[in-house]
Amino acid sequence: MIIAKKHDYNGKIVLAMCDANLLGKKIEEKELSVEVNKRFYGGEIITKEGLRKILSDCYIINLVGNESLELCKELGLVDGKHILKIKGISHAQILITKE
């Protein structure tokens, strides 16, 4: 299950999404860490179709979790070269360019 929350920053939508089981956790490895806090990531369950519908509104997607990454890969939003792994958990920021 994937959780997502939209944030409006000066008219640009930042989508924070994470695997539901990571919500509220801090992931650390050496000098790397990411906090999957409920204020930023805690939103509603999102499906592949739901993500596809809101993509045109998004400027940046900030994702944490292997399930979230796989969904973004399925939609062609990210490839394996741009993924940061922290304790085996995927983290990426995706800039959505408008053509």
Q: In the chain, what are the domains? A: 2-95 (3.30.1860.10)
Q: Which residues does 7 contact at the CB level (< 8 Å), separation at least 6?
A: 13, 14, 15, 16, 40
- The answer to whether residues 89 and 29 touch, using CB atoms and an 8 Å cutoff, is no
What are 51-92's pLDDT values in tens digits?
888 888 899 999 999 999 999 999 888 887 889 999 999 999
- pLDDT recorded at residue 34: 94
